[in-house]
Structure formats: structure tokens, C-alpha cells
Amino acid sequence: MIRLRTLRPARFVQLPHDALDRLPDFNAVGLLAHVLRHDDGWDFSLDRLVASKAGIGRQAAYKAMRTLIAHGYVVKVKWQDSGGLWHTDVFRAADPHTADDLAEIATMYAPGESVRGGLLMSWRGNESLSELASPQVAPT
């Protein structure tokens, strides 16, 4: 019997070559690898990340995040729940988000559900969700 084995741990991050080629600096590549390594629902805090990692300052980390947003690897959605509290969801991907991805994200923030609407805070020009989906979705 032949068994396949690996020396890698069960969890690892794989980045496409395009991400390494497109992103202009190593801080953005490192931040992308960091956000991709976590499961959905992980409580993300860039400030907490900066505090835990030596060698990168707050300004560099925020610049790296802006770079990921500008290149489409990260999409942030700020939304208000029915109790009036604001939340931010961060969508991340190993490949840049497409227009279809944005349309799918927009459907997740439809009025009348657990979210009363949303504003797409960061995506190549700060479009509102209402520009990406049906006219019923709009900032509140």
C-alpha cells in the first residue's frame, strides 16, 4: 500500500501568482495572506494585528489595507442593524472580486432582513450597494 503524506500543516494559505505580481508591496501581500488564513466569522481588527506583529506600523498596515481594497482583494461593507448599531463586514478573496461578486454581496444586505441596508465603503471608488443591485438596497 502506498500512502501520500505531506510535511505541511493541515491549514495553510495559498496565494495565486497573480496576487504576488499585482500587489505593489510586501506589506499588502502579507496582509492578504493574514486575512485569508482565518475562517469566516473571525473578529478582524487591523489595530490588534499591528499590535501583535513587530516590524509593521499602523500607517503601513492601513496603507496595505487600502492597497488590497484598491486592487479588489478586500471589500468592506458597513451596515446598520435594526437596533441602530453599525457593523463592518470584510469580504476577502485570493483573487480580486468581480462585478458578479459585488452583486452577490449586495443581495446579502437587502432591507427587511437582519440588515436594514448597507453602504459599500470600499470598492474601487466607494460605490453604494444601490448602484450594484436592485433599487431597494440603499444606505440608511
d(CA 118, CA 81): 9
Stretch 72-76: mean pLDDT, rounded?
90
Select, from the ranges 3-12, 40-49, 61-70, 88-97, the one with the highest average predicted confidence (pLDDT): 61-70
d(CA 118, CA 88): 10
The confidence score (pLDDT) of residue 5 equals 54
**Which CATH number describes the domain made up of 17-109?**
1.10.10.10
pLDDT range class, residue 127, cuts 50, 70, 90: very low
Asked whether the CA dihedral 44, 47, 53, 58 is positive or negative, the reply is positive
The confidence score (pLDDT) of residue 138 equals 41
The confidence score (pLDDT) of residue 62 equals 94
Is residue 117 pLDDT above 90, yes or no? no
Contact 81, 73 (CB under 8 A): no
Stretch 43-64: mean pLDDT, rounded?
89
Length of the chain counted residue by residue: 140
Q: Please work out, in degrees rounded to the nearest 5, the angle formed at the alpha carbon of residue 127 by the alpha carbons of 82 and 116.
A: 10
Domain boundaries, the chain: 17-109
The confidence score (pLDDT) of residue 65 equals 93
Per-residue pLDDT of 89-109, as tens digits, reads 888 899 999 888 888 888 877
For 118, the grid coordinates are 448597507
Indicate whether this model's pTM tops 0.75: no
